Amino acid sequence: MTATLLNGNETRNALFEDLKARVAALPGPVGLATVLVGDDPGSRSYVKGKHRACEKVGIKSIRRDLPESITQAELEAVIDELNANPEVTAYIVQLPLPKHLNANAILERVDPAKDGDGLHPVNLGKLVLGEDAALPATPRGIVELLRRYDVPIAGANVTVVGRGVTVGRPIGLLLTRRSENATVTLCHTGTKDLAAEVRRADIVIAGAGSPGLITADMVKPGAAVVDVGITRTEAGLVGDVAPEVREVAGWLAPIPGGSGPMTVAMLLTNTVEAAERANAAV
């Protein structure tokens, strides 16, 4: 068996067409800002991709590129400025932040109505309560990708590997909503038998950041496998899913070209929805 490719690039392009029309239908401009601290090449490349995407759908993009040495107070002042800036519909703080900064305090300072990433505690709380709010971009993108390829989600056993704040923790909240109705197991470094947890999954979501962690012998034949664990090596990008998994899985969202482009599409979707919400409120 060779897995059907869950093509994030094609799906993102289709979503951009829809977003372009929604932006054009709004009465005023839509603006997305990014906050980038330091010189991490991966973060720099993701932020660049977000600005390129804005251009494609007609969203004005605004950059705040800041030095690695910035203090907590200085970064909080940038957050306050973006909260007050009428040109900014939504924004994101690129993660991870340098270790000397308190990332949770920064995320909490973002105006929840301008939270492009859906990572503000108020928005994560609304997700738990089933209320309308910005949704975490990568998990939302994964669910959208699975839906568009008709991967059965309702009743599926999903094994998530990795408990990070951008993917592992929030994706269970999305997949266990009544609209998705999956059963989710969250695995991490304390999991006793990872191979057994992965083997019984209909859908595997690998976001541990450990290259080649998920091998072919761990995957149930026909399962859907979504790779989210990007590691940058001299040879290029490497995911958590070993290449041979393609021969066993029924569907595969690879690195690159799977969940990554969907993250950007969902960030822009959150931004357009924030503009639509603000417009409906006036």
Ligand X SMILES: Nc1nc2c(c(=O)[nH]1)N[C@@H](CN(C=O)c1ccc(C(=O)N[C@@H](CCC(=O)O)C(=O)O)cc1)CN2
Residue 239 counted as an annotated binding residue: no
Task: Build a one-symbol-per-residue string for 16-45: x at contacts with ligand X by CB under 6 A, - elsewhere.
Answer: -----------------------------x
Beta bridge pairs of residue 9:
none
Residue 164 counted as an annotated binding residue: yes
Q: Which among 75-83, 122-130, 143-151, 259-267 is the span making contact with ligand X, rule CB under 6 A?
A: 259-267
Burial of 188 (0-12, 13-18, 19+ CB in 10 A): middle
Query: Among residues 216 and 237, whose Cβ is nearest to ligand X?
Result: 237
Helices marked H in the chain: 8-25, 41-57, 72-84, 103-109, 121-129, 137-148, 168-175, 194-199, 259-281
Burial of 234 (0-12, 13-18, 19+ CB in 10 A): exposed
- Considering only 117, 144, 197, 273, the residue that binds ligand X (CB under 6 A) is 117
Residue nearest to ligand X (CB): 260
CA distances from residue 220 to 21, 184, 200 in whole angstroms, order as listed: 41, 16, 6
| DSSP assigned state of 192 | S
Q: Is residue 255 a contact residue for ligand X (CB under 6 A)?
A: yes
Residue 58 counted as an annotated binding residue: no
Q: Is residue 95 a contact residue for ligand X (CB under 6 A)?
A: yes
Query: Among residues 138 and 269, whose Cβ is nearest to ligand X?
Result: 138
Contact 62, 30 (CB under 8 A): no
**Residue 50 designated active-site:** yes
For residue 33, the minimal CB distance to ligand X (Å) is 12
Q: Which residues are the active-site residues?
A: 50, 94, 117
Which residues contribute to the site for ligand X (CB under 6 A)?
45-46, 49, 92-95, 117, 137-138, 166, 230, 237, 255-257, 260-261, 263-264
Q: Which residues are annotated as a binding site for NADP(+)?
A: 162-164, 230
